Amino acid sequence: MKRKINLRDPEFEPTDEELAELMHSAFAQVRAKREARERAVADEISARVAKRWMEQRAKPGQT
């Protein structure tokens, strides 16, 4: 049976297994959130480059 984890208790000392479980649950979403943010930034950059390219093509006589 798992013991109750009380992180507010200054006397609480987790076992290695509990510590690994706590770290896993604390950081479970970090990779997915970072990858999603990187995709969003890449999409924003692509959209801005495309917009700028279209603006430049719309100006006659410029390179």
Could you tell me the two tokens for 42? Answer: 């890449």
Question: pLDDT per residue over 44-53, tens digit each?
Answer: 999 999 999 9
* Cα atoms found within 13 Å of the Cα of residue 3, Cβ hemisphere only: 10
In angstroms, how far apart are the furthest CA atoms of the chain? 77
Report in angstroms the alpha-carbon separations of 5 from 11, 24, 28, 37.
11, 15, 18, 32
Does residue 8 surpass a pLDDT of 80? yes
pTM of the predicted structure, to 2 decimals: 0.57
Q: What is the pLDDT of residues 21-34, one digit of tens each?
A: 989 988 999 999 99
Backbone angles phi, psi at 36, to 5 degrees: -65, -40
Q: Is 29 helix (H, G, I), strand (E, B) or coil?
A: coil
